[in-house]
Structure 1
Amino acid sequence: MTDTERQDLGLFTDLYQLTMLDAYLREGMHDDAVFTLFVRRLPEERKFLLAAGLDPLLETIEGLSFSDEDLNYLKEQDFSQKLIDYLRNFKFTGQVRALPEGTVFFENEPIVEIKAPLPQAQLIETLVMNQLHLQTLLASKGARVARSAQGRRVLDFGARRVHGIDAGIKGSRALYLSGITATSNMLAGCTYDLPVAGTMAHSYIQAHDCEYDAFKNFTNAFPETVLLVDTIDTIKGVEKVIKLANELGDDFKVKGIRLDSGDLGDLAFKVRELLDEHNLNHLKIIASGGLDEHKIAQLIKDNAPIDGFGVGTGMGVSDDASALDMAYKLVEYAGKGRLKLSSGKPVLPGEKQVFREAKGSFSHDTIARVEEQLPGEPLLRKVMQNGKRLPSHQRNIEEIRQYAQQQLDKLPDSMSSISCTEASYPVEISDTLANYQKEITEHLKRGGG
């Protein structure tokens, strides 16, 4: 069975989750635990992150199970029969509170809080982090790229170089909800009902003896296509498009041309002038080839006549910030707040809530204990109860995308800029939570157990 054929993901966990689970079962540790998922520090160029991946994750958790093949494998690894029996009928029964997908958030703020019997909450750590880490990382990158384009179309061309099939499919979803216009990834489009878009590759031109014949034949098959003009010589390629337009007359339905190499800004000016001279003002110019948010922003600053962008590797792998300092930590067990005192890795104990105040744009956040009532909007919402997704919080991809844009539009200008600045968004800890953390810290330092 290949990885793409597997439907049961119970074994998508680290070995130490199972060894701890085995030990918990031996000790009879079944009380409720609370785990918090958060990002300790933002990457250097990030002033905000965009939460993504929650809905697919909840669907996976709801159906999480172990097959006979899984259980036989675990027997071979010398796990106890108690563990095997527990996993045979495994069903997640816990509660999940989370930031809705598309929510802007900042460092140390809870993204997800999971409350469930300790063995259950421990087991899903690897899955939760894997799924939310990648999709949040890519949504955050996609938001930067989309906003740098200032309303122009941005197409996701990254499927060929992203890190695996799961990353390609769910990454395209994350990019779309962040503001990217469409994806070239057909499986992602089919799976999540995303708009798909694409043009043609150089190989189609190369396979023909004549570039003009390639353009003509492709246009016959797909009249409203976008033609790639830089396989041999960009300007000569555009001249052949003009020739084809003259030959076809009213039957010429081509939508645009794509530039994929060279000085994109300089070529765009030359190509636009050439097309306009021949009354092909309606043809759009799409640029691609090693683009990211900074290159797009520069092209727009230079007033390059480019109508849309195709962005691949840099966005698909978030090449300038390839990982988040994301953590999933135990913060409560059996009704008692828990934390660790490791240097540089603070943990806020207990169930929490984040309150966000806004004066037009977002002004500041406060992380508080869950029972507190503070000014501002409470961001964490209950999305799963007794192991079942709550219908009231299930949204389609277009609703999530619209919500994400509303969130991004409320960012202060200093936070939404793609340039490096010293500014940071103010996130406070409530006095009640700070005192609770202090009490537990002092207890631990006294050697309390």
Structure 2
Amino acid sequence: MDLQNLTLHTDKYQINMIYAHWKMNRHNNIRVFDAYFRKNPFQNGYSVFAGLERIIHYINALRFSEEDILYLKNQPENYDEGFLNELREMKFTGNIYSVAEGAIIFPNEPIIRVEARIFEAQLIETALLNFMNYQTLIATKASRIKHVAQDDMFFEFGTRRAQEADAAIWGSRAAYIAGFDGTSNMESGKRFGIPSIGTHAHSWVMDFESELEAFRAYANVFPDKTVLLVDTYDTLKSGLPNAIKVGKELEEKGYRLKGIRLDSGDLAYLSKKARKMLDQAGLDYVSIIASNDLDEHVILDLKFQGARIDSWGVGTQLITAADNPSLGGVYKLVARKDDDTYAPVIKISANPEKVTTPGFKTVYRIINKRTNKAIGDYIAFPEEKVKEAKQLNMFNPIHTYIQKTVTEFEAVEILQPIFQNGEQVYELPTLDEIRAFHNSQLDLFWEEYLRKLNPEHYLVVLSESVWKVKTDLMASKS
């Protein structure tokens, strides 16, 4: 599935760098890169990782076609024929480690680690970040929206406002991972098995002589799945009364009106009025669905106002991540492998948040054995044997005076092997398994870290060994 060749889905400077490495006979040197992000989007307290499945498909299909080679051959850089032949033979031969899709993740910790020839590791940067950044952004937004009304149903309605087809298709998958219950996008439904949801548009109503005639016609075609859009003309004077008439007519035929949808106006007021009218007509089982530029802020406010809405169709604000349209993930060189040793490297910046954390590292989630809640994430070198430790000193790498000593903990390594020596060793879970995993991840965290407003800062720390390597390298480069 989705084994489309996207090898040239990269930036030209990646091609130029691997060409320069080839010219200098450095292209087979093994290098280690970390992919991570620096800041949670939407002022959220956490993020939700998504995009791994597409990254896996991309790596498995990574080949330069003759069409790709011809395009490169015609570039003004005049790449050597030997380089182009190297590209013809290229396939991914390295190692990739990643957190699982649906995992709760935090800034400044490796989400994906790539260990490969610089020729390969440099090439895949752009696509890897593209898939990780977008899908993680949408999954995080969806989780944040779901969190403000956890018992309600949520549907992704954003296809027509997304940035082209791939964004719509993979964005709806990311939303489903994070708790949404369905999508209007039929391709996503077919490809991923996401429940597809749909009613009718205003044009359906406008194409008939009367609203009542339109409702009756629709109900006649879908008698057991009828959801009526009631705001084409006047919601309370026309739409609701006509929907109630059709609902009663369906009852007489042995069916039930499934729901009504509100797509404009004062949703709090209209939903309360609609609930009262439906209940008085004996249609208390009819669900009220709302759409119309919804996001977590609007939904939370509607809940505060007592809106009687059971299900939410969320479109533009979700699929475009309108209030924070970029995750800002980065891909940084952290180590050079020489023989069997890893030499750490660092990037220094005048902006402290842009100073990288050097070395071949892994990440442990530290979980309190008594509460089964996460205490913090611990970045360490693999040889430190964190799982066997009886005590950990966890200190904030920015504010080092903030320290916590933990005992009675379990250290769970969250980076797992995906590719080994170019071969996929990770068995892709089903989408429903990923979704269930995400729900189990939420259970690991106290509500203070998950809340929408002013979430508590979750601790992501460096081991003392990693911190020492980082400070020593910073000193040596100054």
TM interval, shorter chain, is over 0.9
**Matched-pair contact (CA < 8 Å) for 1:118–1:333:** no
C-alpha separation in 2, matches of 1:420 and 1:83: 52
1:288 to 291, 297, 302: 291
**Matched-pair contact (CA < 8 Å) for 1:35–1:113:** yes
Where does residue 241 of structure 1 map in the other structure? 243
2:376 to 364, 374, 385: 364
C-alpha separation in 2, matches of 1:299 and 1:172: 24
Where does residue 80 of structure 1 map in the other structure? 80
1:407 matches 2:445: no
Aligned amino acid, residue 352 of structure 1:
K
**Matched-pair contact (CA < 8 Å) for 2:156–2:172:** yes
1:71 matches 2:75: no
**Matched-pair contact (CA < 8 Å) for 2:3–2:60:** no
C-alpha separation in 1, matches of 2:151 and 2:62: 40
Where does residue 424 of structure 1 map in the other structure? 457
Structure 1 residue 44: Cα displacement: 5.3
Aligned amino acid, residue 471 of structure 2:
K
In the superposition, the TM-score normalised over structure 1's length comes to: 0.95
Where does residue 37 of structure 1 map in the other structure? 35
1:337 to 330, 338, 344: 344
What does 1:99-248 correspond to in 2, within 5 Å? 99-223=99-223, 224-235=225-236, 236-248=238-250
Task: Provide closer, same or farther for how the CA distance between residues 44 and 305 of structure 1 changes in structure 2, counting only shifts above 3 A.
Answer: closer
C-alpha separation in 2, matches of 1:246 and 1:152: 26
Deviations 1:110-163 (A, max 9, x none): 000000011100000001000000000000000011111222100000111011
C-alpha separation in 2, matches of 1:220 and 1:109: 55
1:257 matches 2:255: no
2:16 to 13, 19, 30: 19
1:269 matches 2:279: no
C-alpha separation in 2, matches of 1:387 and 1:240: 62
1:385 matches 2:420: yes
Where does residue 4 of structure 2 map in the other structure? 7
C-alpha separation in 2, matches of 1:80 and 1:203: 58
**Matched-pair contact (CA < 8 Å) for 2:216–2:246:** yes
Structure 1 residue 372: Cα displacement: 2.1
**Number of aligned residues:** 439
**Matched-pair contact (CA < 8 Å) for 2:250–2:257:** no
**Matched-pair contact (CA < 8 Å) for 1:212–1:240:** yes
**Matched-pair contact (CA < 8 Å) for 2:96–2:419:** yes
**Matched-pair contact (CA < 8 Å) for 1:42–1:325:** no
Structure 1 residue 361: Cα displacement: 2.5
Structure 1 residue 254: Cα displacement: 2.1
Structure 1 residue 6: Cα displacement: 9.4
1:355 to 345, 357, 364: 364
C-alpha separation in 2, matches of 1:112 and 1:367: 13
Aligned amino acid, residue 403 of structure 1:
F
**Matched-pair contact (CA < 8 Å) for 1:242–1:278:** yes
C-alpha separation in 2, matches of 1:175 and 1:305: 24
C-alpha separation in 1, matches of 2:313 and 2:119: 45
Aligned amino acid, residue 348 of structure 2:
L
C-alpha separation in 1, matches of 2:361 and 2:3: 35
C-alpha separation in 1, matches of 2:474 and 2:43: 33
Deviations 1:60-109 (A, max 9, x none): 11121111111001000022212211111220011111111111111101
Say what the alpha-carbon RMSD is for the aligned residues.
1.5
C-alpha separation in 2, matches of 1:221 and 1:8: 42
**Matched-pair contact (CA < 8 Å) for 1:96–1:385:** yes
Structure 1 residue 317: Cα displacement: 0.9
Secondary structure at the aligned position of 2:418 is classed as strand
C-alpha separation in 2, matches of 1:249 and 1:165: 40
**Matched-pair contact (CA < 8 Å) for 2:364–2:414:** yes
Where does residue 98 of structure 1 map in the other structure? 98
Task: Provide closer, same or farther for how the CA distance between residues 6 and 76 of structure 1 changes in structure 2, counting only shifts above 3 A.
Answer: farther
C-alpha separation in 1, matches of 2:323 and 2:375: 27
**Matched-pair contact (CA < 8 Å) for 2:41–2:137:** no
C-alpha separation in 2, matches of 1:384 and 1:284: 46
C-alpha separation in 2, matches of 1:202 and 1:395: 39
**Matched-pair contact (CA < 8 Å) for 2:185–2:196:** yes
Q: Percent identity?
A: 37
Deviations 1:248-281 (A, max 9, x none): 4332432010011111111111111111111111
Task: Provide closer, same or farther for how the CA distance between residues 83 and 377 of structure 1 changes in structure 2, counting only shifts above 3 A.
Answer: same
C-alpha separation in 1, matches of 2:452 and 2:475: 41
**Matched-pair contact (CA < 8 Å) for 2:3–2:57:** no
Aligned amino acid, residue 273 of structure 1:
K
Secondary structure at the aligned position of 1:160 is classed as helix
Aligned amino acid, residue 309 of structure 2:
I
C-alpha separation in 2, matches of 1:171 and 1:83: 37
